[in-house]
Amino acid sequence: MRSSALPVTRRRALKLLGSAAVTAGLLGTAGAAQTYRFGLTREQHALPGLRAPLRIAFLTDLHYGPFIRAGSVRAWVQAANAERPDLVLLGGDYLDIEPGHDAGPLLDELRALRAPLGVYGVWGNHDYGSFGEGRPGLDWTVYREALRRAFAGVGITVLRNEGRAVREDLYLAGLDDLTRGEPALGAALRGARQTGATLLLSHNPDVLPDLLPGAGLVLCGHTHGGQVRLPGLGAPLVPSRYGQRYAMGWVRGAHDTPAYVSRGLGVTGAPIRVLCEPELTLLTLTPG
């Protein structure tokens, strides 16, 4: 049987390589443009125990460092403030800089966040030294405590396996990072009331299969939605042991607990996003 395939001549091979290069270039150009063009994602969810509506601005995975500078953070903060949220939550991975490098510009921008119920956050894996891990002579416990105080100095409370009653009908719990920290769900949820709503903030969504009862609603980041998504295939690479299961959007954890996984705002590894726009999430919670 005669093959219907065209013979691969030198000219045809060069043409194919040229087409591949053009395609890669277009994807690269589009991906670089999407890196710094973020959108506002509006979501609504009923939360049992809540007695009055609540507006939350959720910003995660800022990755201030080589690819994300103060101007980007300023735009995100201004967009969040323009929505007049009741509460601002930060999902971790604030820094992609080595300890000792100046985080002042990031903190100066985050200082402008405004919400009557406060600004709260949790640590992500990059906040535990992904850029500078193994540096000799550095006491990471001292470094993280100094970082916590620096965040507190600009009005941001970092919750590490603890929580706060941010309103009479809402308990906010914050979990330490799953891979580099020492997460303790029981400790984070210990102060939750039998009556009222509970909201759990966790950087990494891989905690979802192991949730304890009573988490209420979980907000996560970490995955960036895969950062690069392909039509019909989704994200080829997702930093999760569960693949694409918790890559982005609304998902479910143990005990049928609802969770929202944000695509985040920054980038890491490579300054590129394809079909995966950065997002600032505005979540309106309503009484369940």
Closest CA to 259 of 208, 214, 195, 224: 208
Distance CA 88, CA 283 (A): 10
5 within a domain of the structure (yes/no): no
CB burial string 100-110: b at 16+ within 10 A, e below: eeebeebbebb
Distance CA 146, CA 153 (A): 10
Which pLDDT band, with edges at 50, 70 and 90, does 270 fall under? confident
What are the helix (H) ranges across the chain? 10-35, 70-82, 104-110, 140-153, 185-189
Q: For position 38, which CATH number holds? A: 3.60.21
Assess whether pLDDT exceeds 90 at residue 154. Answer: yes
- What is the per-residue pLDDT for 12? 41
Contact call for residues 82 and 74 (beta carbons, < 8 A): no
Q: Tell me the two tokens of residue 60.
A: 């995660």
132 within a domain of the structure (yes/no): yes
56 within a domain of the structure (yes/no): yes
278 within a domain of the structure (yes/no): yes
Distance CA 200, CA 247 (A): 18
4 within a domain of the structure (yes/no): no
1 within a domain of the structure (yes/no): no
Which pLDDT band, with edges at 50, 70 and 90, does 33 fall under? low
Domains: count for the chain:
1
DSSP helix, strand, coil percent of the chain (3-state; round to 5): 30, 25, 45
pLDDT per position as a tens digit, 57-96: 999 999 999 999 999 999 999 999 999 999 999 999 999 9
* pTM beyond 0.85, yes or no: yes
165 within a domain of the structure (yes/no): yes
Q: The domain containing residue 180 runs over which residues?
A: 10-287
- What is the per-residue pLDDT for 128? 84
